[in-house]
A and B are shown apart, each in its own frame.
Chain A
Amino acid sequence: MRSLIDITDLTLDEIDKLIATAEAIIANPSDYSSRCAGKKLATLFYEPSTRTRLSFEAAMYELGGNVLGFSDAGNSSAAKGESVADTVRTVSCFADIIAMRHFKEGAPLVAATFASVPVINAGDGGHNHPTQTLTDLLTIKREKGRLDTLTVGCCGDLKFGRTVHSLISAMSRYANVNFVLISPEELRVPENVRSEILERKGVAFEETTSLDDAMPKLDILYMTRVQRERFFNEADYLRLKDSYILTPEKLKKAKSDLTIMHPLPRVNEISTAVDNDPRACYFKQVLNGKFIRMALILMLLEAAQ
């Protein structure tokens, strides 16, 4: 059964096809409005989410399908101690495809092992978030017209920010992409991302603590939130949370065609004064997320038939 757990589960050809399908949906949504009629998506969200869950649900409704599920582990049998394996075996009896978010890393992989329907990882702790990456790739493709030959700046919490890890993993597969990794010392990208993705693939990257120094080089600026829920220690969170705040002043040094992205939710790392800057693309990202999830649901349901 084909599932999507990690962005590298998809070949570049498959990513290209998903992007092409998403763009076709954007161009002619009515052509797709009943493609999933009679199908059900189960959204199993063990952790709070606004965008991702609603995006999956909107995607399925716009394909003519239906949605069932839960948005809090407390409302499921997980609260009674049921295993992920048993939950997805049960849900496989009711749904044609599953989107799972879980606070534990690797839970969607366990789900995919035991489910008899496709499983989509909708975020597992600080680990992977492949549909956000697909969203980001679609956004970059639509804004820049390409996925290669780009300087991508990732700024903020690069240690716990799963979206950044997945984005680096995905963008490293395209030619002439280099990264500027901007973070406080304590929130640098994990060693495995550095050694087993960037260094192994020979991808050019630099690490810096200065957003100001990095700004003029960037084609893409991917901002992230310092995530309170990933810290065991509140004092560490409070010390680091305001490390980088993007303001119109800081953007004066940026290229005129910079693309500013953020997986959202934001706290204060992008000033609301930036929202009206034509380079701000984070709300377009949200919309793109729905379209790429529609394309993904179609692809996995077709593969399951």
Chain B
Amino acid sequence: MIIGSINDGIVIDHIPAGKGMELYQYLNLAELECEVAVIKNAPSEKLGRKDIIKVAEPIEINLDILGFFSSAITVNYIKDGKKVGKKHPVIPEQIVDMIRCKNPRCITSIEQELPQIFVLTDRDKGIYRCRYCDTKAK
């Protein structure tokens, strides 16, 4: 399968296979007017299979979201058809308003204007917990 290369924009690479569309939604890429390609199950030496997202515009990406998804993800920055930069997102210490707490006993279940804050409590296992009720993020 051949997807055209991009001239100016970004390539989000090494997304765990099957997570590409989910990440597309978290990053609100549907709102973009430029070309966006989500490639699923591409062969990968490192991961076996991976997803890739190509965006044909040099947009700002929330690296915390990428780090929350997987520390294996890389972002390549393309300008004039050449790779001019690469970033490895780090696992963020906390994430805000990306996911919602599912605990029906949590204060956020009745006060929905509160920011949804999840704090990294186990870096090795990538576990985040709700700042209010300590429920594990799923």
Stretch at the interface among A54-62, A105-113, A131-139, A266-274: A105-113
Q: Does A50 contact B (CB under 8 A)?
A: no
Output the least CB separation between B7 and chain A (Å).
46
| Contact for A106 among B106, B122, B136, CB less than 8 A | B106
- Tell me the bound Cα distance from A84 to B103 in angstroms: 18
Contact A192 B136 (CB under 8 A): yes
Q: Does B30 contact A (CB under 8 A)?
A: no
Question: Which residues of A in the span 104-135 have a Cβ within 8 Å of any Cβ on B?
Answer: 104-107, 109-110, 124-127
Contacts of B105 in A (CB 8 A): 103-105, 125-127
Contacts of B130 in A (CB 8 A): 106
Question: Which residues of A in the span 175-199 have a Cβ within 8 Å of any Cβ on B?
Answer: 191-192, 195-196
The size of the chain B interface, using a CB distance under 8 A, is 20
Contact A105 B103 (CB under 8 A): yes
- Tell me the bound Cα distance from A125 to B109 in angstroms: 13
Residue on A nearest B129 in the bound complex, by CB:
A192
Question: Which residues of A in the span 156-206 have a Cβ within 8 Å of any Cβ on B?
Answer: 191-192, 195-196
The size of the chain A interface, using a CB distance under 8 A, is 19
Q: Does B41 contact A (CB under 8 A)?
A: no
Knowing A192-B129, A196-B122, say if A127 contacts B109 (CB, 8 Å). no
Q: Does A83 contact B (CB under 8 A)?
A: yes
- Tell me the bound Cα distance from A90 to B80 in angstroms: 57
- Tell me the bound Cα distance from A107 to B127 in angstroms: 22
Contacts of A83 in B (CB 8 A): 111, 113
Knowing A192-B129, A192-B136, say if A105 contacts B121 (CB, 8 Å). no
Residue on B nearest A6 in the bound complex, by CB:
B134
Contacts of B3 in A (CB 8 A): none
- Tell me the bound Cα distance from A191 to B132 in angstroms: 17
Question: Which residues of B in the span 75-94 have a Cβ within 8 Å of any Cβ on A?
Answer: none
- Tell me the bound Cα distance from A104 to B107 in angstroms: 5
Contact B133 A106 (CB under 8 A): yes
- Tell me the bound Cα distance from A102 to B122 in angstroms: 28
- Tell me the bound Cα distance from A56 to B129 in angstroms: 30
Question: Which residues of B in the span 113-136 have a Cβ within 8 Å of any Cβ on A?
Answer: 113-114, 121-122, 127, 129-134, 136
Q: Does B108 contact A (CB under 8 A)?
A: yes
Contact B129 A106 (CB under 8 A): no
Contact A105 B106 (CB under 8 A): yes
Knowing A110-B132, A127-B134, A192-B136, say if A104 contacts B106 (CB, 8 Å). yes
Contact A106 B121 (CB under 8 A): no
- Tell me the bound Cα distance from A112 to B111 in angstroms: 15
Contact A110 B111 (CB under 8 A): yes
Q: Does B110 contact A (CB under 8 A)?
A: yes
- Tell me the bound Cα distance from A105 to B133 in angstroms: 5
- Tell me the bound Cα distance from A33 to B105 in angstroms: 39
Contacts of A102 in B (CB 8 A): 107
Interface on A for B, CB 8 Å cutoff? 83-85, 102-107, 109-110, 124-127, 191-192, 195-196
Enumerate the 4 nearest inter-chain pairs by beta-carbon distance, A residue then B residue, closest first: A106-B132, A105-B133, A104-B107, A106-B107
Q: A83-B113, A106-B133, A192-B129 are in contact. List 4 more A-B contacts (CB 8 A).
A: A104-B105, A125-B105, A125-B133, A126-B105
Interface on B for A, CB 8 Å cutoff? 103, 105-111, 113-114, 121-122, 127, 129-134, 136
